């Protein structure tokens, strides 16, 4: 069996789950722009999109936000063993669920300025003051040091 550590070494990156918390439309855009930025830098990543999950894995729990998020995070955890960076997004009231499901060393939380005071130790991005591309570029620079092998 090839270990996660061997895959991370081969890919020159550390597998992480990046959870972006804030307003649904904003964080979805940030997630996909961040994935594009990682791709441009040769970093393997994927976005777990709640729209796709609601049509499949989570179709029976769409109205149960806690269970929906639990399944999303469980799916994201599967990617940790591949060496990938997995990007998820959601709203702040459910962050306790995430913290209970993921080892802190595997988790990176990014919050928008609207939710910054609700999650301790998170990266904060401020939407609205710069272009979304500039915001994501700044976020990428912060995350690059954390995910570099």
From CA 17, how far away is CA 87, in angstroms rounded? 6
Describe the strand order of the beta sheet including 16-21 as a list of residue ranges: 45-47, 85-90, 16-21, 107-112, 123-125
Q: Contact 108/146 with Cβ under 8 angstroms?
A: yes
Task: Say what the pLDDT of residue 66 is.
Answer: 72
Task: Say what the pLDDT of residue 61 is.
Answer: 58
Query: What does the pLDDT profile of the chain (149 residues) look like in tens digits?
Result: 999 999 999 999 999 999 888 887 788 899 999 999 999 999 999 998 776 666 666 666 566 667 777 778 888 888 999 999 999 887 665 666 677 777 788 888 888 765 555 555 567 788 777 888 998 998 999 898 888 86
Q: pTM, whole model, 2 decimals? A: 0.84
Residues facing residue 148 across a β-bridge: 13
Which phi and psi angles does 40 have, rounded to 5°?
A: -60, -30
Task: Say what the pLDDT of residue 54 is.
Answer: 61
Domain ranges of the chain: 4-144
β pairing state of 123-125 and 16-21 = unpaired
CATH architecture of 4-144: 3-Layer(aba) Sandwich (3.40)
Structure tokens belonging to residue 71: 């399944």
Q: Give the dihedral sign, CA 54/120/101/105.
A: positive
Structure tokens belonging to residue 67: 């269970």
């Amino acid at each position: 069996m090839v270990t996660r550590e061997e895959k991370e070494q081969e890919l020159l990156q550390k597998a992480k789950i990046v959870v972006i918390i804030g307003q649904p439309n904003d964080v979805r855009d940030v997630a996909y722009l961040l994935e594009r930025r990682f791709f441009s830098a040769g970093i393997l990543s994927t976005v777990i999109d709640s729209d796709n999950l609601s049509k499949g894995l989570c179709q029976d729990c769409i109205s149960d936000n806690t269970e929906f998020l639990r399944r999303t995070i469980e799916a994201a955890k599967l990617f940790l063993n591949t060496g990938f960076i997995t990007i998820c997004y959601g709203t702040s009231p459910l962050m306790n669920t995430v913290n209970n499901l993921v080892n802190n060393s595997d988790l990176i939380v990014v919050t928008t300025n609207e939710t910054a005071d609700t999650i301790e130790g998170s990266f904060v991005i401020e939407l609205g003051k710069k272009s979304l591309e500039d915001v994501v570029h700044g976020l990428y620079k912060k995350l690059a040091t954390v995910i570099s092998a």
